[in-house]
Chain A
Amino acid sequence: MFERIRRCIYFLSIIFLLTLPVHAYAGNGKIDTGDTTWLLVSAALVMLMTPGLALFYGGMVRRKNVLGTIMHSFIALAVITLQWVLIGYSLSFGPDINGFIGSLKWFALNGVGIEPSDYAPTVPHLAFMIYQAMFAIITPALISGAFAERMKFSAYLLFILLWSTFVYDPVAHWIWGGGWMSKLGVLDFAGGIVVHATAGVSALAAAIIIGKRKGYPQEPMTPHNLPMTVLGAGLLWFGWFGFNAGSALSSGALATVALVNTHIAAATATLIWIFIEWMKYGKPTMFGAATGCIAGLATITPAAGFVTPMSALIIGLAAGAICFLGLKAKGVFGYDDSLDAFGVHGIGGVLGTLSVGLFATTAINSGGANGILYGNAKQMITQIIGAAVAALYSLVVSVIILKVIDWTVGLRIDEDAEIRGVDLAEHGEEGYFL
């Protein structure tokens, strides 16, 4: 044991030494304080989304699984941060290898310092790195909604580590790190493909491979604390301003448009969702409003910095209506995507990515492109290729990762543990003593 700790300390010291050159860098005057402020604030906003997601999901499960579900999101903050600073950032944004992956040249943040990078030329490279870290953290946590209430914690840790390394990092590289999709012209402002489509499709694979919860769908599995879910949705909505407007990587016009678009889409999707419920089931629900806003936010994500505010309104409308239908899929096909990670994020992410092909205009973002409505049908083809390849890649690699974990440590807790609940069985604690 002590030998292990000692080796660990040696290892960490070596990493520390590797990073020393960072401090030799000095700013050369290109750094913009406004841009840097906004990016750092945005990093903090996106960080808050992960505990927000923990509450959002935590309220939806049965009370015996509340802590295990919250833990899935919260622990990603720790695990993926370390993965990111050691290898993830370098694999995603490091010097390109054949358009597929970043090299490990920036291993352990070697060479990632105060000097701005090409990605965000007016902010310290480290600010860009930590901002992107928050995206890498929340993405695998989104998937956890698919296998809530029945996954082994050890298997979960392995899963997010492998998934980040083999799915998130490559796809982030393809689109944002100078990889083949960015050269093809695929547009994804803040992560419709990189975050929501990859997570959503992988969630679908995970739900099918791990299997249904015991008793699903005969036994009622109603959310145990909807106020908690709504609080989580509120924090997600708030944090999403950093997610989308921060993706301008600067403070100014583009960030403003992205923030306004984000808000409009969220509001529209919320409203349309409860109206559909009202018509279909007779009553508008709070849970529906919370779900609708997240669908709107996920859908506007890839488009936030490419479309006009009125296009955002239409995108929000489509998000509410189509994701509402998307949730029905699990009933039809009989899989148990427990908290609708695919129904909301998978469908929202793809829908948003395609909406870029329709509504994008260079009047909003000169670095973007025009969509069909602005006379460029080709962009839609590019968007379809981007979404389809990323979805297929995520699906295949996720299946491999999940199967390997299932064959080695096992994905699922045993039946007795599932009856007692994840909180007691996996963590030895309970959420409530009332």
Chain B
Amino acid sequence: MKMVSAVIKHYRLDEVRKALLDIGIQGMTIVDVKGFGRQKGQLEVYRGVQYEVQFLPKVKVEVAVPEEKVEEVIEAIIKGARTGEIGDGKIFVYGLEDVVRIRTGRRGKEAL
């Protein structure tokens, strides 16, 4: 099992959700995050004073999937989130040790 974690632009979230639903993904978790990548922050001007806002708001989408689905999920996220501009975000993939469905107590792949 793998955890696919994608940091994307807020306004692409809906497209990403649709693309993931289209390939049969049954659940996802999103969380509001802030950070910077190569895009760095942005300059904002308040009453004539310039501030560099170092951390930009993004949204993180997390999907837990069986190994064989990983590539498909990555493609779906790219399809939904890519604008071609700087700041589109990143996808991280890492191993997932176990999953537990709380209601039934089932574990592993069948709990996904």
List the interface of chain A (C-beta within 8 A of B). Answer: 217, 220, 222-223, 277, 280-281, 283, 285, 287-288, 291, 324, 327-328, 331, 340
Contacts and interface: CB of A to CB of B under 8 A. Distances in A.
Given A222-B46, A277-B45, A283-B45, 16 more contacts: A220-B51, A222-B44, A222-B53, A277-B48, A280-B48, A281-B45, A281-B48, A281-B50, A287-B46, A287-B47, A288-B47, A291-B47, A324-B48, A327-B47, A327-B48, A331-B49
Nearest to B41: A220
A277 B45 CA distance: 9
A285 B44 CA distance: 10
B46 to A, nearest CB: 6
Contacts of B52: 220
Contacts of A331: 49
Contacts of B48: 277, 280-281, 324, 327-328
A62 to B, nearest CB: 12
Nearest to B43: A281
Interface in B52-76: 52-54
12 contacts: A220-B52, A220-B53, A220-B54, A222-B44, A222-B46, A222-B51, A222-B53, A223-B46, A277-B48, A281-B48, A285-B46, A327-B47
Contacts of B46: 222-223, 285, 287
Contacts of A324: 48
Contacts of A281: 45, 48, 50
B47 to A, nearest CB: 6
A281 B48 CA distance: 8
B45 A285 contact: yes
Q: Which of B49, B51, B52 is most buried by chain A, counting CB atoms within 10 A of its CB?
A: B49
A287 B48 CA distance: 10
Contacts of A340: 47
A340 B49 CA distance: 12
A223 B45 CA distance: 11
Interface in B8-29: none
6 closest Cβ contacts across the A-B interface? Answer: A220-B51, A281-B45, A222-B51, A327-B47, A222-B46, A287-B46
A139 B44 CA distance: 31
A291 B54 CA distance: 25
B5 to A, nearest CB: 23
A15 to B, nearest CB: 45
Contacts of B50: 281
Contacts of A283: 45
A281 B44 CA distance: 10
Contacts of B44: 222
Nearest to A221: B51
A14 B95 CA distance: 79
Q: Which of B47, B49, B52, B53 is most buried by chain A, counting CB atoms within 10 A of its CB?
A: B47
Nearest to A280: B48
B14 to A, nearest CB: 22
Contacts of B45: 277, 281, 283, 285
B11 to A, nearest CB: 20
A217 to B, nearest CB: 8
B42 to A, nearest CB: 12
